[in-house]
Structure 1
Amino acid sequence: MLDEIDEEFRHAGLDQAVALGNTPPIFDWLLTAFSFQGISDQVARNYMEKHGTASWSKMEASLRNSPSCPKLQTFPAYGGCRYDKGSFTCAEPDHIDACPVPRPHLRNGRLNQTAYSLFLFVRDIAGGDLIGWIDNQLEATTGLSDADLEAARQEALIGPLREVFGVADKVLTNALSWLMIGARNHRPVWFETGKAMLVIDTLVHNFLHRTGILEKCGVPHRYGPACYAEGGCAEIIRRAAGRIDARSFNPSFPEFFPRFVQHAIWRYCAADGLDLCNGNRIDDRAACQISYCYLFRICGRKPLKLE
C-alpha cells in the first residue's frame, strides 16, 4: 500500500509540494482524486487523459479579472451555482457567456462546480495555503484519549471541507487519508491522522455482511451512515486493527494501522485487487459458492440480498 501511495506522490510531485508548502500541486491532485467518484476508475481516467483536467494555475488566471458573476466573488457566495453542462444553464444565466466555470472540459457540470468551489475554499478559507491550513487544523485539536484525538483531527479537516460542493465524506476521507499517509516523512502528525481514517464503501460493507462478521461482531445494518455508527463497519475494523500488529506485514508500518486493515479488505474484494468477494463473482441471492476463496471454510457465507 505504501509503495502505491509513494509512487503516486512522486508522480504528482506531492512530496516536494508538502515539503515546500506549495499548494497548487496538492490542489490539482485533490481535484483529480475527486473526479473518480460516481464512475469506474478506468472510465474516469480515460476521460481525463483525453480531455485534461482543471488546474490551480488556469483557475487562478480565470478569476484574476474578477468575473461579473456575483457567485464567483467569494467562497460563501458560490453556493447554488447550479451549472449544468448538458443544458449550458446556471443560477446566473445573464453571466454564463463570460463565466469561467464551464471552461474546463470536465466529465460533467458537477465536477466543474466542485473545481471552482474547492479553489474558492482554498483561496478564501485557507488563505491560499492549503498545507498551512491542514497544519493549523490538526494542531488546534485536542482529545482525552487517542481515539478522541483521532476523531477530532479527522473532523477538523473533513468538517470544513464538507462545505465544498460535490464532495461527500467518503470521497474526502479517501483522498485525504492517501495525502496524509503519503506525507509521513515530512508531517508525522499528518500520518497519525491518515492511518486512522477509514473509508467504508459497498465492497467493505458487503464483505463484512457476507462473511458473517457484521452479524457476529457488530450491529447488522444496511450500507450507509450506520457503517460509521456504534457497532458499525468502521468500529469493527478499528477493533480488528487493535488485535493486528501491522508491523508483521511491513516493519515501517505503525503497530495500529486501521487504514491498512480496511484497505486490505477492499483489495480482497475489488476487481483491481484479488477480485474475490464482490457482486460480479457471487450470486447474492444465495450463499457464496466460490470454494477456491481463501476464506471459504471459515466464512459465514451470508446471502446479501436477504439483508
Structure 2
Amino acid sequence: MPLTGAICTLRAMAAVDEEGLDWALAVIEPALVLGDRGFLLEMRTRLAAEGVAAAVLDRDSAAIYDWLLHAMQHQGISDAAAEAFVHTNAPVGWAGISDTLPIRGRPACPRLKSYWHFDGCGYRKTARTCAEPALLEACPLPRQPLRNGRLSQGAYSLLLFIRDVCDGDIVGWIDARLEQADHRLADPQHRAAVMRQAVLEPMRNIHGVSDKVLAMALSTLLIGTANGRERWLTTGIGMIVIDTLVHNFLHRTGILQRLKANHPYGPGCYGAGGCADIVAALADRIDARRFNPGFPACFPRFVQHALWRFCAQGEFDICNGNRIDDRQPCRSTCCPAAGLCCRIALHGAAKPPRQ
C-alpha cells in the first residue's frame, strides 16, 4: 500500500461507527488483560542472546540475514516442525548462499545476476523444474537443504535484496527509509503507519516471504534491537502480525461483521480496512501503559500479540479450531469474552446426519 494509502485507510477506520469500536474494545478486553506484560523485555533479551542486537550495532548484514532467513522457515507448517527440520539439516546462511553467486563473470543462470533479474525464477524442488530448466543442473538452488523451492527462492531473493537494493547494508537501508518517510510526513498522527509501510512495502517483493512472517520478523528486529533508535522502536511497535488465529477471532466474535470488514484470511487481512487496520484502529484507543508502565501508550503489536495468545494452543488456548467446531457457532460458556461475542460460525453450518 502506498504511504498516502496507509494514512487514508487509518482515517477511514477512525471514521467508522464509534459505538462499533467501543464494543470491539470491550470484546478484546479479556485478551488484553491476559496479554504478555513482559513482551518488550522478552524480545530485547532474546535478540541480545542470539547476537542480533550486536549485529545491528556492528552493521553486520550477514548475521542479520541469517536470523531473518531462520524466521522465514516458519511458514506453512508448525513452529515445532520448522525447528525440527532446521535442526536435522545442514545450516543455510549468508556464507553458503553468497559463495554460489560469482562476484564477476557469468553466473550459472542469468536470473542470478541481480535481485531484479531473479524475479520469476520459479524453482520447484519436488517437480525439479524452474523458469530456465536447461540450466537447472548447474543451478545452486537445488543444492540448498531447504524444505521447498519457495524457501530456496526466498533465501536467494533476500540475499540479493540486501546485496543489491540495500547496497550490502540493511541497517543503513532501514535507517534511510525511515528517515525519508519521517521527513516527508505531512500528518504526524499517522507517523508509525507511514514509516512501517516505508520498510514493509519494498520488502514484500522478496520472494517466498509472507506478510505475516515479514511483519513478525521486522517487528521483532526493530523493537528488540532499537537501542536508542527512536524510529526503529516507533515503527516496530506499530507492526501487526495477522495469522489465522487472529483473523478467526475477529470473525467469530463479530468484530469484522460489525465494522463492515468481512473478508477471507489472506492478503485482505493487510488490505484497506482489513484485520491489520482494525487492530491498529483499536490500538489507537488503548493506553497500553495500564498493562505495563514501560510500554508505549499506543502499542499495536502488543494488542495483536495479546489476541494471538488468547487463541494459541500453546498459550491460553481459548478461541481456536481445536476448541470450537467452526461449522457452527461457538458454544463455550467459560470464555471470558462470551458475554459480548457474536459467536459467528467460521464456515458453513454443519450438515444434519444422514438418516
Under a length normalisation based on structure 1, what TM-score does the superposition of the two structures give? Answer: 0.92
1:235 corresponds to which residue?
A: 277
Say if 1:242 and 1:218 are closer, same or farther in 2 by CA, change over 3 A. farther
Return the offset for 1:111: 0.8
Q: Which amino acid aligns with 1:121?
A: F
Paired with 2:250 and 2:337, the residues of 1 have a C-alpha distance of 12
Return the offset for 1:242: 2.3
| Residue 69 (structure 1) aligned with residue 109 (structure 2) | yes
1:249-268 maps to which residues of 2 (within 5 A)? 249-268=291-310
Q: Which amino acid aligns with 2:284?
A: G
SS of alignment partner, residue 268 of structure 1: helix
Say if 1:251 and 1:132 are closer, same or farther in 2 by CA, change over 3 A. same
1:1-307 maps to which residues of 2 (within 5 A)? 1-64=39-102, 66=105, 67-141=107-181, 142-306=184-348
Return the offset for 1:83: 1.9
Identity between Structure 1 and Structure 2 (%): 48
Say if 1:136 and 1:292 are closer, same or farther in 2 by CA, change over 3 A. same
Q: Which amino acid aligns with 2:78?
A: S
Q: Which amino acid aligns with 2:125?
A: K
Paired with 1:12 and 1:229, the residues of 2 have a C-alpha distance of 33
Say if 1:245 and 1:52 are closer, same or farther in 2 by CA, change over 3 A. farther
Paired with 1:90 and 1:239, the residues of 2 have a C-alpha distance of 42
Contact 1:212 1:300 in 2 (8 A): yes
Pick 1 or 2: higher relative contact order, CA cutoff 8 A, min separation 6. Answer: 2
Paired with 1:205 and 1:86, the residues of 2 have a C-alpha distance of 31
Under a length normalisation based on structure 2, what TM-score does the superposition of the two structures give? Answer: 0.80
Paired with 1:31 and 1:147, the residues of 2 have a C-alpha distance of 33
Paired with 2:260 and 2:276, the residues of 1 have a C-alpha distance of 10
Contact 2:261 2:273 in 1 (8 A): yes
Contact 1:53 1:106 in 2 (8 A): no
Say if 1:126 and 1:277 are closer, same or farther in 2 by CA, change over 3 A. same
Return the offset for 1:30: 0.8
Say if 1:208 and 1:164 are closer, same or farther in 2 by CA, change over 3 A. same
Say if 1:157 and 1:245 are closer, same or farther in 2 by CA, change over 3 A. same
Q: Which amino acid aligns with 2:196?
A: Q
2:3 corresponds to which residue?
A: none
Contact 1:12 1:25 in 2 (8 A): no
Q: Which amino acid aligns with 1:105?
A: P
SS of alignment partner, residue 171 of structure 1: helix
Contact 2:238 2:300 in 1 (8 A): yes
Q: Which amino acid aligns with 1:110?
A: R
Return the offset for 1:159: 1.8
Q: What's the CA shift string for 1:130-189, capped at 9, x where partnerless?
A: 111111111111322235432321222122212211223333212111111112224221
Where in structure 1 do 4 or more consecutive aligned residues deviate above 4 Å? none
Paired with 1:82 and 1:61, the residues of 2 have a C-alpha distance of 21
Say if 1:213 and 1:90 are closer, same or farther in 2 by CA, change over 3 A. closer
Paired with 1:101 and 1:229, the residues of 2 have a C-alpha distance of 32
> Which has the higher mean CA deviation after the structures are superposed, 295-304 or 14-23?
295-304
- 5+ residue gaps, structure 2, are 1-38, 350-355
